[in-house]
Amino acid sequence: MEGKPLIKISVSDNAWQARLASRFLKSDNAAIVFGRNIYLWGSSKQAFLGNQRWLLHELQHVLQYQRDGFTGFIFKYFINHIRYGYRNNPYEVEARAAEQNEELLKQFDLP
């Protein structure tokens, strides 16, 4: 029996996309996900990959893109952000819950 193919992700540090997110979040470091690509600011790729809670959080966002599609995710995330704000956005609530879920790692081909 074959399992589902692993989801291959990329991680880029010093990324302007994440710099914008860090300003928005008023945080020294930030990650932002587009599809299977994770962009970082204020953290090296190695530090990010070594921080399991943070990694799991962002991997859940990758799964949300898989579930909703690229445009669907962006659109619904934005609508939810307006409606609920950053912290209570259901996408963020789900990603925070995933920070404890090590099982998620099995679905990914990490760099």
Rounded distance, CA 78 to CA 92, Å?
12
Comparison of 2 and 94: residue with beta carbon closer to Zn ion: 94
Q: How far is the CB of 95 from Zn ion (least distance, A)?
A: 4
Least CB distance to Zn ion at residue 93 (A): 9
Nearer to Zn ion, 5 or 105 (CB): 105
Helix and strand counts by DSSP (H, E) for the chain: 5, 5
HEC readout, 83-102: HHHHHHCHHHHHHHHHCCCH
Nearer to Zn ion, 1 or 15 (CB): 15
Q: Output the six-digit token pair for 15.
A: 């990324």
| Cβ 30 to Zn ion shortest distance, Å | 9
**DSSP assigned state of 43:** S
Q: How far is CA 32 from the centre of its chain?
A: 6
8 vs 53, beta carbon nearer Zn ion:
53
Residues that bind Zn ion (CB under 5 A): 92, 95
Write down the least CB distance from residue 5 to Zn ion, Å: 25
